[in-house]
Amino acid sequence: MIDWASFVAVALASLFSTAVVVSLYSFGLRFRALTHPDARTGEPVRPGYATVLSYLCFGLSACAVLFGIYLIVPFLHS
């Protein structure tokens, strides 16, 4: 017999976590691509905050993936 409440809880948790990881990675890519032309040379320049935010988003995305692996592999938390 299927425990539908548990099934729905796992399905919602996996949908939510997938959306979070993909969103964090996408924001990281967006911040990494954020540039504006330099006033003097006209060359594209990335603001410092964009670099920091991109690394933060990539780091949080990696932490979420590693936490998911930690939850899946019983050897790591038994």
Q: What is the pTM of this model?
A: 0.83
Domain-wise residue ranges, the chain: 17-76
Structure tokens at 72: 């899946």
The pLDDT of residue 77: 82
Residue 38: what pLDDT? 87
- With a cut of 50, list the residues of the chain below it in pLDDT: none
